[in-house]
Amino acid sequence: MIAAGAAGIVFGARVQKVVGSAFGSGLGGLLPGGDRFRIYTVTSSFPEISNSGYRLRVTGLVDRPLNLTLDDLKSMPKTKLVKDFQCVTGWRVPQVHWEGVRLSEVLASAGLKSSAAALTFGSYDGLDTESLTLDQAQRPDVIVAYRMLDAPITTDHGGPVRLYVAPMYGYKSLKWLSSIQVVENAAPGYWEQNGYSTDAWVGASNQRDDKPIS
Amino acid sequence: MASPRLLRFDRVERAAHWTTALLFGILMATALPLYFVQVESIVGRRALIAEIHTWSGVALPLPLIISLAGPWGLRLRRDLRRFNLWTPAEIRWLRSLGRKRNPEPDKFNPGQKLNALFIAGAIVVMLGTGSILKWYRLFPLGWRTGATFVHDVLAAAVFIIVFGHIAFALAHRDALRSMFRGWVTEAWAKRHASAWLKEEQEASSEAEAASVR
């Protein structure tokens, strides 16, 4: 029994991939090893943010610091993405529907100074932080998201607004997004300080070989 | 007088069983919101539930360890040794999936022995994988993925086995009573555990002979 458990720990990553794609994410996702969302948090509770109370602050190396409401974000050009969501612990939920505004649009509204090279993100949970280089942030598949799975993002999933970085592992998609600070050099975020890759490309970081997000 | 009584489980064994069962109950109940997002979104308080789950897990082997550790654990140790002893008749019963009855059943039948071995292994593996999930910073990231998978799969198996265990207990009231009151009747023992009854009768007649001397 113990030997099976130890083998499972060592080889489980590979088995999980096979099982996950075999079980799928519908009812099969409820089976152990299936592809379903799990909720991980770094603090002891979820921050509860009302739609009217939500604010996204954009500060730092910008021409016009912003204090955006949810309505402000919704009035900006919409982007829809349908992508697999891959967690660094192995599970992958296929073809998740996302809606929001491109991060590049938000940054354009603020106007970037010439020395801007990176972004630091803060969360309403007061602890989790993330970072992106400016090049990564300008990608068309990096959005400030307010809809997920065809509904407003629930609190559990980081709503009302979270960052969504499609080509990277889930920990980069910071929940309960509260602030964007434009800087020259970004400090490593919460998970990076715990040993996870900074440039968290799916399939090319964290010593994992998952299928990249397409 | 009705059939005389035979002690099947002493106080230490019953206490160990019920405290372990309580901890299992807490672990399984808290596992549901941790595993199913749909349950979690109703129940909330994820961090509190995770704390209760993990510390119950750490506590899980303690009742057994404490019960085994001292002179009070004599009967428990003796009974645990039975789980590793398989007679040819029992192996035949297993191989034939219950069709070839064992004419002289021991105190525990092969199904019960398998259950005990499974649960013992499960406690160790769940504690190990659970520790990797809780203290993930101490372990390589690849292990976290494997541990998550093993913990998930074994949890599902534990649910099935534990519910099966409870179903069997409810269907066998005399045996269930012995886990509350300690005793079974000799008539029950003659029917369900004749080899054990013989053992006990030999032991008590030896003790009588010794005390007369």
Instruction: Give one DSSP letter per residue of B94-161, joined into a string.
Output: HHTTT-S--SS--SS-HHHHHHHHHHHHHHHHHHHHHHHHHTGGGS-HHHHHHHHHHHHHHHHHHHHH
Over its C-alpha atoms, chain B yields an Rg (Å, rounded) of 21
- Predicted local distance difference test score (pLDDT) of residue B211: 76
Q: Which domain holds residue A120?
A: 51-193
N- to C-terminal Cα distance for chain B?
29
- Predicted local distance difference test score (pLDDT) of residue A75: 97
Higher pLDDT, A12 or B193: B193
Q: Please compute, for residue B87, the number of CA atoms within 13 A of its CA located in the half-sphere on the CB side.
A: 14
Interface contact B124-A1, CB threshold 8 A: yes
Query: Among A39-43, A179-183, B109-113, which range has the highest average pLDDT?
Result: A179-183
> Quick one: which of B90, B78, B77, B67 has its CA closest to B20?
B67
- Predicted local distance difference test score (pLDDT) of residue B206: 82
Residue pLDDT, tens place only, A152-189: 999 989 999 999 999 999 999 999 999 999 999 999 99
- Predicted local distance difference test score (pLDDT) of residue A132: 97
How far is residue A96's CA from residue A46's CA, in Å, rounded to a whole number?
22
Say yes or no: A130 and A171 in one domain: yes
Residue with tokens 């309960």: A176
CATH for A189:
3.90.420.10
**Is a pLDDT exceeding 80 seen at residue A33?**
no
Say yes or no: A6 and A104 in one domain: no
Contact A148/A100 with Cβ under 8 angstroms? no
Average pLDDT across chain B, whole number:
90
Provide the domain count of chain A.
2
Average pLDDT across chain A, whole number:
89
Say yes or no: A130 and A27 in one domain: no
Residue A27 lies in a domain: yes
- Predicted local distance difference test score (pLDDT) of residue A12: 64
- Nearest C-alpha in A relative to B143: A9
Contact A140/A102 with Cβ under 8 angstroms? yes
- Predicted local distance difference test score (pLDDT) of residue A7: 67
**Is a pLDDT exceeding 80 seen at residue B65?**
yes
- Predicted local distance difference test score (pLDDT) of residue A8: 66
Residues in B 87-106 with any Cβ partner in A closer than 8 A: none
Say yes or no: A114 and A184 in one domain: yes
Q: How confident is the model at residue A76 (pLDDT cuts 50, 70, 90)?
A: very high
Q: Per the structure block, which two tokens stand in for B17?
A: 């069983």
Residue A177 lies in a domain: yes
- Nearest C-alpha in B relative to A197: B141
Residue A212 lies in a domain: no
Q: How confident is the model at residue A91 (pLDDT cuts 50, 70, 90)?
A: confident
* Total H helices, total E strands in chain B: 11, 2
Residue A202 lies in a domain: no
- Predicted local distance difference test score (pLDDT) of residue A26: 59
Q: Which domain holds residue B38?
A: 5-212
Chain B CB contacts of A127 below 8 Å = none
Interface contact B149-A206, CB threshold 8 A: no
**Is a pLDDT exceeding 70 seen at residue A5?**
no
List CB contacts of B103: < 8 A, sequence separation 6 or more. B89, B194
Residue pLDDT, tens place only, A113-129: 999 999 999 999 999 99
Residue A28 lies in a domain: yes
Average pLDDT score over residue span B18-34: 96
Say yes or no: A6 and A82 in one domain: no
The CA dihedral of A141, A144, A150, A152, to the nearest 10 degrees, is 170
Provide the domain count of chain B.
1
Best of A1, A9, A25, A196 to disrupt the B interface by mutation (most B CBs within 10 Å)?
A: A9
E-assigned strand segments in chain A? 56-60, 66-68, 79-86, 92-102, 118-123, 129-133, 142-148, 151-152, 162-165, 177-183
- Predicted local distance difference test score (pLDDT) of residue A10: 66
Say yes or no: A30 and A107 in one domain: no
Residue A198 lies in a domain: no
pTM for the model stands at: 0.80
Say yes or no: A29 and A56 in one domain: no
How far is residue A213's CA from residue A84's CA, in Å, rounded to a whole number?
6
**Is a pLDDT exceeding 70 seen at residue A19?**
no
Nearest by CB to A9, from B41, B117, B147: name it.
B147
Least confident of A50-64, A91-105, A115-129, B98-112: B98-112
CATH for B71:
1.20.950.20
Percent of chain B whose pLDDT exceeds 70: 99
Interface contact A195-B154, CB threshold 8 A: no
Chain A CB contacts of B129 below 8 Å = 5, 8-9
Q: How confident is the model at residue B98 (pLDDT cuts 50, 70, 90)?
A: confident
Q: How confident is the model at residue A61 (pLDDT cuts 50, 70, 90)?
A: very high
Q: How confident is the model at residue A90 (pLDDT cuts 50, 70, 90)?
A: confident
Is the ipTM of this structure higher than 0.90?
no
Residue A199 lies in a domain: no
How far is residue A76's CA from residue A102's CA, in Å, rounded to a whole number?
9
Q: Please compute, for residue A82, the number of CA atoms within 13 A of its CA located in the half-sphere on the CB side.
A: 2
Say yes or no: A126 and A90 in one domain: yes
Say yes or no: A95 and A189 in one domain: yes
Say yes or no: A5 and A72 in one domain: no
Nearest by CB to B47, from A31, A45, A156: name it.
A45
Exposure of B32 by Cβ count < 10 A (0-12 exposed, 13-18 middle, 19+ buried)? middle
